[in-house]
Amino acid sequence: MGCYSGMVLSEGIAIGKVHILSYSAMTQVKIDPAKEKEKLEIAIKNSIKELENLKKISKENEEYISMQILLLSDPLLLTKTNQEINLGHSASESVEIVLNEIMKPLLDATSSYLKERALDLSDIKERILRNLIGKKSLDIKTDFILVAEELHPSFLIQHKNQLLGVITHKGGYSSHGAILCRQFNIPYMIANIAAIEGETIILDTRKQQIITSPKDQEIKHYQEITQKLSMEVFEAIEHSPYQFLANISDNSELERVQSYGFDGIGLYRTEMIFMNSDRPYTLEEQYEIYSVAVQAMKNKSICFRTFDVGDDKQLSYITASKKGIDNYIHNPLVFKTQIEAIIKANLYNIVKIMFPMIYSADEFDFLKKWVLQIQKEMKDSSFIEFGIMLETEEALNSIESFKDVDFISIGTNDLVYSIYHIHRDDQNTELEYLKDLISKLKRVVTFCKKNKITLSICGELAAISPALKEFIRMGITSFSVATPAIKILNHIYKEFF
Ligand code: PEP
Ligand code: MG
């Protein structure tokens, strides 16, 4: 029996067998260098194959994709990563080490051209890692507790029904892996543990502890607790004048949105749906999904965020070196198909369309015009509200120019990175920047009030009590959170009234 402590990213208790995905944090598991090298070679080959397919359907990006293929085909990449494997690192760790080393001087450079090249390399890194880890289909049939170096959102999306809990070496409160775990009620801790494949472990976030190979007595005790917890009934409360909205990633959460008393969906992360597939979803497939969500919301509102890829969210058929408008311009068909499906699903005029990672009002105007053009071509006359996610320092600094938006939703996860350079993988719940952020957001509150623009917060800070209290004090009344976080909203509401 072993006992370890860790940092909690998503609450809960899990009992189950360990499945180890990346070995670096596990001192008791030996790496087989030959196997790691073989895995790496296959992952690079598959990455090249993906890009070659992509080149065929994405003519406008041909040059960019060819450059990526060239970088991936460079024998030096394999030589250098194999050298790292020989030193005892896993294949995924070696890819991280080698590419981070190449990227570092580019990222530190002041030239924006060099910074962009670093993003290209980051894109390549993500692609190889996805082929190494994210796409790995597990041969274990039972549910498991994942022990890994880090949690990739695509892996979680594909295995969420099997995942009892997660323990990783790296990760932060606002990483998409953590956000999704909270959304799907999967307990998640950051810890450095020694575990063996197939061993039983208990993950208890209330005590911030992980027990490996627990005694039977301990297992029984925890089974009783989990059973008790599963029988707890949640009661929705009246919460006017506040609006409680839900952040969701797929339709499996709709039932909870309704039973927990949410007033609507404030953020539908549509790219998470896309992550379930190796090819773009067709219009019909997307319509099917969006219309089920619209039907469920009927007399409430539903805000679809146009697919927000880049960074830790990558799709095999899109070359996304950075988040934002470029993804739509470089993949116009994917954008158009998504917009058509959303518009077609807008049966009750309750749909809102939200653009992520907006830097300027010009970008918003351009995208809104594009959507209206698509709507016109469809001969559709449904009512749609248009808004932005406020998640870049540039947009914050020029907030007064966003007079034409219908609503603004503050995405604190990216905004905190943009202003304070605290990466979402490093964000925790100790909010040393909160005071300064609040003072910066006052301008946004004043601007929205003056121009009758609906303002809400959909970043993770909306569900962190000290931050939530500050937002309420400054006059914000609409919050969009992961469904289980309604308990936090209810709790703070009761404290205020
Ligand atoms: C945010 O950035 O705060 C946000 C809600 O979007 P995401 O976490 O999906 O980037
Ligand atoms: Mg964001």
For residue 1, the one-letter residue type is M
Q: Are 402 and 444 in contact (CB under 8 A)?
A: no
Say yes or no: 332 and 432 in one domain.
yes
d(CA 189, CA 173): 10
Q: How confident is the model at residue 278, as a pLDDT?
A: 79
Question: Which residue, among 49, 16, 24, 33, has the nearest Cα to 133 in the 3D structure?
Answer: 24
Query: What does the pLDDT read at residue 50?
Result: 85
Same domain, 295 and 261: yes
pLDDT, position 315: 83
Q: CA triplet 184, 90, 54: central angle to 5 degrees?
A: 65
pLDDT on residue 291: 97
Please tell me whether residues 120 and 152 are part of one structural domain.
Answer: no
Q: How many CB atoms lie within 10 A of CB 265?
A: 26
* Residues 320 and 455 both lie in one domain: yes
Under DSSP, is residue 273 helix (H, G, I), strand (E, B) or coil? Answer: helix
Is residue 4 assigned to a domain?
no
* 267 alpha carbon – ligand 1 mean position (Å): 9
Of 100, 133, 166, the residue at which a domain comes to its end is 133
Residues with CB under 6 A from ligand 1: 179, 267, 269, 308, 391, 411-414, 458-459
Where helices occur in 148-305 by DSSP H, the ranges are 153-159, 176-183, 216-231, 254-259, 271-274, 283-297
Residues 128 and 149 occupy one common structural domain = no
Q: Is residue 18 part of a domain?
A: no
Write the residue with the smallest CA distance to atom 3 of ligand 1.
411
End-to-end CA distance of the chain: 47
Domain that holds residue 42: 24-133
Measured in angstroms, how far is the CA atom of residue 151 from the centroid of ligand 2?
18
Question: Which atom in ligand 1 lies closest to the alpha carbon of residue 391?
Answer: 2
CATH number at residue 108: 1.10.274.10
| Single-letter code of the amino acid located at 73 | S
Say yes or no: 128 and 226 in one domain.
Answer: no
Which pLDDT value is given to residue 124? 84
Question: Looking at the structure, do residues 273 and 386 belong to the same domain, yes or no?
Answer: yes
Q: Report pLDDT for 164.
A: 96
Residues 202 and 258 occupy one common structural domain: no
**Distance (Å, whole) CA 443 – CA 447:** 6
401 is a domain residue: yes
DSSP 251: G
Our count of domains for the chain comes to 3
Same domain (yes/no): 125, 78: yes
The preferred substitution site among 9, 265, 413, 464 for testing ligand 1, maximizing ligand atoms within 8 Å of CB, is 413
Give the pLDDT confidence score for residue 364 in this predicted structure: 98
Last residue within a domain, chosen from 230, 251, 270: 230
Task: For residue 166, tell me if it sits in a domain.
Answer: yes
Question: CA 371 to CA 367: how far, in whole Å?
Answer: 6
- The residue among 70, 103, 133 that closes a domain is 133
Task: Give the strands of the sheet with 209-212, arranged side by side.
Answer: 2-5, 209-212, 200-204, 13-20, 144-148, 163-168, 188-190, 7-10
Q: Give 10-residue mean pLDDT values along the chain (497 residues).
A: 91 92 49 87 90 76 82 90 89 87 78 70 81 59 88 83 93 90 95 88 95 94 91 87 96 94 97 88 96 95 96 78 88 95 96 98 98 98 98 98 98 95 80 94 98 97 95 96 94 87
Ligand 1 geometric centre to CA of 460 (Å): 8
Are 329 and 421 in a shared domain? yes
Cα(41)–Cα(79) distance, rounded to whole angstroms?
11
Rg (CA), the chain: 23
Residue environment code for 378-413, b if the CB has 16+ CB neighbours within 10 A, otherwise e: eeeeeebbbbbbbbbeebbeebeebeebbbbbbbbb
Cα 428 to ligand 2 centre (Å): 16
Q: What's the gap in Å between 479 CA and the centre of ligand 1?
A: 13
Domain CATH number, residue 214: 3.50.30.10
Would 9 be classed as within a structural domain?
A: no
The answer on 278 and 425 residing in a single domain is yes
User: Is 298 a domain residue?
Assistant: yes
- The predicted pLDDT at position 121 comes to 80
Q: At what angle do helices 75-86 and 91-108 cross, to 10 degrees?
A: 120
Q: What is the pLDDT of residue 140?
A: 62
Residue with tokens 């006017």: 240
CATH of the domain at 436: 3.20.20.60
- The pair of structure tokens assigned to 154 is 């695509």
106 within domain boundaries:
yes
Do 8 and 209 form a contact (C-beta atoms < 8 A)?
A: no
The ligand 1 atom nearest the CA atom of 174: 8
Q: Which residues contact 458 (CB under 8 A, 6 or more apart)?
A: 245, 247, 266, 267, 389, 409, 410, 411, 479, 480, 481
Q: Whose CA is nearest to atom 8 of ligand 1?
A: 413
Q: For residue 2, tell me if it sits in a domain.
A: no
Give yes or no: residues 113 and 184 share one domain: no
What's the pLDDT score for residue 381?
Answer: 96
